[in-house]
Structure 1
Amino acid sequence: MRTGGETDSKPAKASAAMEFLFFLLFLVLLAAASAAGLTADSRDSADWKPTDNGRRWRSGTC
């Protein structure tokens, strides 16, 4: 018999465990897709300019 102050935490624990497992599965699938070459970098070349001690390098040709 249950007293009034007790709550059943099994559904909450099961829900949290399933949420964690789905998140872990998502990360594993993303890593597998990346390893298989199925992902692409969406950044353009502006994100990859060289830096000198953290400052953006500028060429003199512009």
Structure 2
Amino acid sequence: MDNLKEHLNTIAGQLTPDSTLEDVYEQLALLADIEKSEQDEQANRVFTTSEVKERLNQWVK
């Protein structure tokens, strides 16, 4: 919940008079994706480029 508040505060600071609710949703989704990626990296749930290429070659056979 704290991260949600932080994300909303960050977004609120970037709003302009032309900002729409859709803009807020897009920014919130982006920040959530970044946070998830950082958690995956910390938990070592990531692949190197070479690992991805190797797996891709196995799938494409």
State the TM-score, normalizing by the size of structure 2.
0.49
The one of the two structures with greater contact order (alpha-carbon pairs below 8 A, sep at least 6) is 2
Q: Which has the higher helix share?
A: 2
State the TM-score, normalizing by the size of structure 1.
0.48
